[in-house]
């Protein structure tokens, strides 16, 4: 999994935990981003359990892993996947560290400032009046379920990302489609907000 893809996962997992209800049967892209902005209200940290299903284009069977995610304002995100495909990711603003315990691999990347969490927090700190540059965004409501799809205009690893959540704010799934035809579906459960996470809860070792 590349650093850019991990950035997309971390950003949109972070944005959802406290999403407000959508009233309209259809949503504009601006309305969809405003729902994301409202997700920050009153949320200082959160944890959630995840199940990840990875469908590789060259394999018929899915690779299924479980794990957890953690987030703490203003800019720390952690994701851990359990064995047999164990990995840990720590993102602090634009500094990303990936650890593969079984392989003994540890990689650290300094991402461009515009790809860090601080930029997105600044963007979503006020009501959304314009869309972020470089993305096509679609939002819609089907019954009580909200769908938000984000497609980068610049061709890279990710083809599209879709969030599926209930209008009451419960995140259900994160779907990531890559240009190599790989597909990842992350399902969320047991989400807990404002649990009082500290710095020690975001250590890779």
CATH code of 139's domain = 2.50.20.10
Whether 39 contacts 168, CB under 8 Å:
no
Q: How far is 148 from 140, CA to CA, in rounded Å?
A: 7
Predicted local confidence at residue 22, as pLDDT: 41
φ, ψ (nearest 5 deg) of residue 34: -65, -35
Q: Across the chain, where does the E strand assignment appear?
A: 26-27, 45-55, 62-72, 76-81, 87-92, 95-100, 105-110, 135-142, 145-152, 158-166, 171-178, 183-193
23 versus 78: the higher-pLDDT residue is 78
Distance (Å, rounded) from C-alpha 163 to C-alpha 131? 17
Tens of pLDDT along 108-133?
988 777 667 777 767 777 888 888 77
| pLDDT(27) > 90 | no
Percent of the chain past pLDDT 90, that is, above it, reads 22
Residue 4: predicted pLDDT: 52
What is the number of domains present in the chain?
1
User: Domain limits at 17?
Assistant: 3-202
pLDDT bracket for residue 40 (50, 70, 90): low
Across 10-24, 72-86, 116-130, least confident range? 10-24
């Amino acid at each position: 999994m590349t650093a850019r893809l991990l950035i997309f996962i971390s950003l949109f997992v972070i944005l959802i935990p406290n999403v407000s209800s959508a009233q309209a049967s259809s949503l504009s892209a601006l309305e969809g981003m405003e729902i994301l902005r409202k997700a920050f209200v009153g949320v200082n940290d959160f944890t959630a359990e995840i199940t990840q299903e990875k469908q590789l284009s060259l394999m018929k069977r899915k690779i299924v892993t479980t794990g957890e995610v953690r987030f703490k304002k203003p800019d720390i995100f952690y994701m851990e996947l359990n064995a047999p495909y164990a990995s840990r990711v720590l993102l602090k603003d634009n500094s990303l560290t990936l650890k593969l315990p079984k392989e003994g691999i540890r990689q650290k990347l300094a991402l461009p400032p515009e790809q860090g969490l601080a930029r997105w927090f600044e963007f979503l700190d006020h009501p959304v009046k314009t869309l972020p540059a470089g993305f096509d965004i679609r939002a819609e409501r089907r019954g009580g379920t909200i769908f938000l799809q984000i497609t980068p205009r610049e061709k890279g690893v990710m083809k599209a990302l879709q969030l599926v959540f209930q209008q009451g704010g419960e995140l259900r799934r994160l779907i990531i489609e890559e240009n190599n035809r790989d597909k990842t579906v992350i399902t969320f459960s047991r989400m807990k907000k404002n649990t009082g996470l500290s710095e020690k809860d975001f250590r890779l070792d």
